[in-house]
Chain A
Amino acid sequence: MSVLTAILLGLAMGTVFGLALEKSRVFEPGVILGQMQLRNFTMLKIFLTAVVTGLLVLAVLNGLDLTRLFPKPALYGADLIGGALLGVGIALAGACPGTVAAQIGAGYRDAWYTLAGGLLGAVAFSYAEPVLNPLLLSGGPGRITLANVTGAPFWVLALGFASLLVAGLVALERWRPWRGELGAAADGLLPLPAPYPVVNAVAAE
């Protein structure tokens, strides 16, 4: 595929992605911070639904031999350290690397600074990679999936895992209906429990 075709395809796919991120409100810092404080579960609902859909898509496409899988290599030290740093960054940014772009599109000013910091972080990593590579980013068991570990066919595991996640999502929706987590301004901000604003007001003085 030529670079130009790939860019046009990327723009089309990204537009759908951005539309879904904006309409679902998951790009809102209030939704992401609310999720990390275990107060608003919108992010988990979208995330797990996208995983379920991906599992079903890949169960079919891989099961029919239409595509192979492209899992990232398992590097436990890097996955743990990098994943934890990523999580710290997400909580401080109120965004993930993808939703930063949605925040810019929707109009949030601070997202431009998150983007700039992110670009600098990526460049810094590029310079550090030759040093980090022998310490963290090499070795490991390779590109393994649960199908490799268990020896079961991928499509069987994917359908089983998807069923479990659907059951979890049904329970989550019963516990916390999605409309109740939008907030009055659709920004994920929910009313604070009654005694809390008083405590905050005292703490602020």
Chain B
Amino acid sequence: MPALTDRAWSPYFAGVLIGLLQIPAFLLLETALGTSSAYVTAGDSLAALLEPGIRGIDYAARHLSGAKNWWQVAVVVGIALGALLSARLSGTRRHGVSPVWARAIGSTGPARRFAMAFGAGFIMLLGARIADGCTSGHGISGMAQLAVGSIVAVCAMFAGGIATAFLFRRV
């Protein structure tokens, strides 16, 4: 039986656990599991502090308030808390950057990796918002509903990801 102090769980056990989260999502929230629109709610809320005019954009206004939007922000915050808890219980807390980056882009200082991560985050969320979903919303939830658009988006996502990853050195 998997324990909280284990360093690793079977991917199948973890996958079932994630899939079961659809039960409260559909029955209590009347929505499917997702994470990327939380970036709109959080990002636009921060932007509105500097530039209140963003509230006049219909898309932003739709994401700034309401239980479902803030539920999703809470899910993303909860993910960080859950991972922190899990890593502390098993003694696998991480520091700095993953050693995979030294393999993928050559050993360089963290500054280059931080700049790369910032650009990556920008592209990732721009793409997720154009597609209207990410690995969670289109992937885990869209595929589970056999949504036609989600199946297309997931294929495009893996195609883009694989094409980019092969530009790196072999990890």
A residues sitting closer than 8 Å to B (CB atoms) are 1-3, 5-30, 33-39, 42, 45-58, 61, 66-67, 69-76, 78-111, 113-127, 129-130, 132-133, 136-137, 140-141, 143-149, 154, 157-158, 161, 169, 173, 178, 182, 185-189, 192, 196, 200, 204
Contact = CB atoms under 8 A, between A and B. Distances in A.
A13 B70 CA distance: 13
A108 B97 contact: yes
Given A79-B152, A122-B129, A146 B146 contact: yes
Contacts of B16: 49-50, 53
B76 A98 contact: yes
Interface string B22-55: 1111111111110110111011101100000010
Given A3-B66, A98-B79, A129-B57, A17 B18 contact: yes
B117 A113 contact: yes
Chain B interface: which size bin? 35 or more
Contact of A116 (B116, B121, B154): B121
A97 B82 contact: no
B26 A136 contact: no
Nearest to A90: B161
Contacts of A121: 39, 43, 121-126, 129
A193 to B, nearest CB: 8
The 9 nearest A-B residue pairs measured at CB: A14-B78, A53-B19, A18-B82, A49-B15, A89-B124, A87-B160, A117-B121, A54-B144, A82-B131
Q: Interface majority SS on B: helix, strand, loop or mixed?
A: helix
A56 to B, nearest CB: 8
Give the residue among B27, B58, B135 with the most A Cβ atoms within 10 A. Answer: B135
15 contacts: A3-B67, A19-B17, A36-B162, A49-B11, A73-B149, A85-B123, A86-B124, A96-B136, A104-B83, A106-B92, A108-B98, A117-B118, A120-B122, A125-B59, A146-B146
Contact of A78 (B23, B130, B139): B130
Given A1-B29, A66-B27, A120-B43, A114 B118 contact: yes
Given A49-B14, A110-B97, 5 more contacts: A97-B39, A105-B81, A119-B43, A122-B44, A147-B146
B160 A106 contact: no
A20 B96 CA distance: 22
Give the residue among A11, A71, A86, A104 with the most B Cβ atoms within 10 A. Answer: A86
Contacts of B159: 83-84, 87
Nearest to B126: A121
Given A83-B156, A90-B161, A94-B100, A1 B84 contact: no
A103 B43 CA distance: 19
B123 A88 contact: yes
Given A72-B138, A84-B156, A102-B80, A13 B59 contact: no
A49 B32 CA distance: 16
Contact of A54 (B39, B93, B122, B143): B143
